[in-house]
A = this chain, B = another copy of it.
Amino acid sequence: MPSYRAPVEDVTFLLNDVLGIRRYDNLPGFSDASDDVIEALLNEGGKLAGNVFAPANLAGDKEGCTRNDDGSVTTPAAFKKAYAAHIEGGWNGLSVPEEYGGQGLPHVLNTAISEFASGANLALAMYPGLTQGAIAALLVHGSEEQKQAYIPKMVEGSWTGTMNLTEPHCGTDLGLLKTKAVANGDGSYSLSGTKIFISAGEHDLSENIIHLVIARIEGAPAGTKGISLFVVPKFLVNEDGSVGARNGVSCGSIEHKMGIHGNSTCVMYYDGAKGWLVGAENKGLAAMFVMMNEARLAVGVQGLGQSEVAYQNAVAYAKDRLQGRALTGTKEPGKVADPIIVHADVRRTLMGIRAFNEAARALALWTALQSDIAHRSQDAKERQAADDLLGLLTPVVKGVLTDKGFANAVEAQQMFGGHGYIEEWGMSQFVRDARIAMIYEGANGVQAMDLIGRKLPKDGGRAMMGFLGEVQTFVKDHGEDEQLKALTGPLQAALDDLQGATMWLMQNAMAKPDNAGAGATDYMHLLGLVALGYMWGRIAKAAIAAKAEGGDAERMDAKLVTGRFFAERMLPETALRLARIKAGSDTTMALAAEAF
């Protein structure tokens, strides 16, 4: 059976040595997250993931969810105990303000813990994950009454949350939304319509489910300007806060999916369900985006989590499986064959995943830290810079970490040969589960378009200029450092490619927007490569410093080697991405639709 060990040591190193979390002790909540608190949190979160979530993963996949005739949904038996342990630990409220029952700790810690949970058991981690998204939306846009009514229960975990956007004919293009809301005259609305792909829409893990639903109020403008956000509880909430009558929302069916079988993906029927407006009328999209942006970061981290767990199990197999002899001569003469980790092609695969995972973890935490700074700093300039980075990097974290996370799960599965294709080994599940992360919360092509069409031109390109400047400064400051040259040289070349691509787009995409569309995905990955390369630069710098200060030399040397592997073999992909972008859209768009 596959296993999972949370990368606690690596996260600790990233928070302390690479990101310098102590530099932010002036921000609310950070000084509460003392070194001891962080250590305890990571260790406990790691244990929960490794000892409780992970053992329920394969069973959850096999058993899946069942919709019963009465419309209720039964989740896998193994999930109940694990979810109970999760809420007992109070994990939902880690970064929620204390006034709503949370601990008010930095979001960056939450991100670390969510990697552990989603690496160990993605289908299970989605239930609290969606709850946290719902909390985030209510925190920003809900009324005080709504916050008090819903958030503490969701922090407790006795209630869970969902987000209801998609309809059968309406995915990315939310302007096509049909679900209707009719004012009841008492401040509430009656919602009617069908929502699909609703994760955790109906299940037996919590006493109540708080649906956040976008709908169109009767008479609202067409398109995205007429969308409002509503909170629609499965059970109405009595004045005293207790659970009341059943609302007019039900699960019509559950989907048969490629993976995340343990998560109930529901078709939800709203049949005059009672709901209350969250935020202003017709401003639902902006409110939903709070939830979406938070969710997009979290989904990127899911991609990393699957990449990490697949890697760990591939490593264990590669050390254990005896097959063939090393090209450089027998390594284990006492055994019938050498373990396959001696083979260079196996090593190449493992090093490639590892070199991605460590930098991707740094990138996810760095991005989450921007969220903390953007929301908690007293300094307007600092807030703006952080918000710029957060906006720019969110689609990159979502798109690149899930594309590569999935590809890495496939590569890790490949290490098992035929055994990788057999469900009992668990590698197939990692691949099937990782696949969803490329799709939900905005398919990765949509992330690329968001990056190139919104985030890049916003404020005259200020966010991108800030990022390019930061990386350039790093390279300049450390370009003469002999120990870092193996990284800074290739990073400069990659940065030049990114600058070249950005310039080319500025010159060629305004007049011909398809040039942007045809290059969007390549641009997202190009930016991702530079960001990961920059993370490797910072990791290497911190590793060298840690060694000098007497840190674990073996572990730090391994990081330096892995960073060089990234620089030699992975960063040069930027040139290919640039070539593709510069090819423009002529051949891409030349054929008539009928010619396909």
Once the chains bind, are A414 and B428 in contact (CB under 8 Å)? no
Q: What is the chain B residue whose CB lies nearest that of A321? A: B171
- Residue A423, interface by CB 8 Å: yes
Q: Which residues of B are found within 8 Å of A564, using beta-carbon distances?
A: 587
- Residue A585, interface by CB 8 Å: yes
Interface-located stretch among A183-191, A388-396, A457-465, A514-522: A514-522
Q: Which residues of B are found within 8 Å of A257, using beta-carbon distances?
A: 421-423, 428
- In the bound assembly, the distance between CA atoms of A345 and B431 in angstroms comes to 24
- Residue A323, interface by CB 8 Å: yes
Q: What is the chain B residue whose CB lies nearest that of A256? A: B423
- Residue A385, interface by CB 8 Å: no
What's the nearest-Cβ distance from chain B to residue A175, in Å? 8
One complex includes copies of this chain to the number of: 2
Q: Which of A170, A257, A322, A587 has the most CB of B within 10 A?
A: A587
- Residue A591, interface by CB 8 Å: yes
Once the chains bind, are A516 and B327 in contact (CB under 8 Å)? yes
- In the bound assembly, the distance between CA atoms of A558 and B29 in angstroms comes to 60
Once the chains bind, are B421 and A431 in contact (CB under 8 Å)? no
Interface residues on A, range: 35 or more
Q: Which residues of B are found within 8 Å of A406, using beta-carbon distances?
A: 410
Once the chains bind, are B518 and A345 in contact (CB under 8 Å)? yes
The DSSP consensus for interface residues of chain A is helix
Q: Which of B169, B414, B422, B573 contacts A443 (CB 8 A)?
A: B414
- Residue A344, interface by CB 8 Å: yes
Once the chains bind, are A341 and B521 in contact (CB under 8 Å)? no
- Residue A134, interface by CB 8 Å: no
Once the chains bind, are B315 and A428 in contact (CB under 8 Å)? no
Given contacts A323-B171, A344-B589, A414-B438, contact A255 B422 (CB under 8 A): yes
Q: Which residues of B are found within 8 Å of A440, using beta-carbon distances?
A: 418
Q: What is the chain B residue whose CB lies nearest that of A570? A: B580
Q: What is the chain B residue whose CB lies nearest that of A452? A: B345
Q: Which of B343, B423, B517, B561 contacts A343 (CB 8 A)?
A: B517
| Bitwise interface map of A from 153 to 181 toward B, beta carbon under 8 Å scored 1, else 0 | 00000000000001001111100100000
Once the chains bind, are B435 and A417 in contact (CB under 8 Å)? no
Q: Which residues of B are found within 8 Å of A339, using beta-carbon distances?
A: 593
Q: Which of B255, B256, B344 contacts A518 (CB 8 A)?
A: B344
- Residue A554, interface by CB 8 Å: yes
Once the chains bind, are A517 and B327 in contact (CB under 8 Å)? yes
Once the chains bind, are A421 and B435 in contact (CB under 8 Å)? yes
- Residue A513, interface by CB 8 Å: yes
Q: Which residues of B are found within 8 Å of A418, using beta-carbon distances?
A: 166, 171, 196-197, 439-440
Q: Which residues of B are found within 8 Å of A580, using beta-carbon distances?
A: 568-569, 572
- Residue A227, interface by CB 8 Å: no
- Residue A595, interface by CB 8 Å: yes
Q: What is the chain B residue whose CB lies nearest that of A563? A: B587
Q: What are 20 inter-chain pairs, A to B, with CB distance below 8 A?
A: A166-B418, A171-B417, A176-B323, A176-B337, A197-B418, A256-B422, A258-B431, A259-B421, A328-B514, A344-B515, A344-B518, A345-B449, A345-B520, A347-B588, A348-B588, A414-B438, A414-B444, A417-B439, A418-B439, A565-B587
| Nearest 7 interchain pairs by C-beta | A344-B517, A327-B513, A258-B428, A568-B583, A565-B587, A344-B518, A173-B323
Binding site for B on A (CB under 8 A): 166, 169-173, 176, 196-197, 255-259, 315, 318-319, 322-324, 327-328, 336-337, 339, 341-351, 354, 406, 410, 413-414, 417-418, 420-424, 428, 431-432, 435-436, 438-440, 443-445, 448-449, 513-518, 520-521, 554, 558, 561-562, 564-565, 568-569, 572-573, 575-576, 579-580, 583, 585, 587-591, 593, 595-596
What would 16 more interface pairs be, CB under 8 Å, given A354-B596, A572-B576? Answer: A176-B323, A176-B337, A256-B423, A257-B421, A258-B421, A258-B428, A344-B585, A344-B589, A345-B521, A351-B588, A421-B436, A554-B595, A562-B587, A569-B587, A572-B580, A575-B575
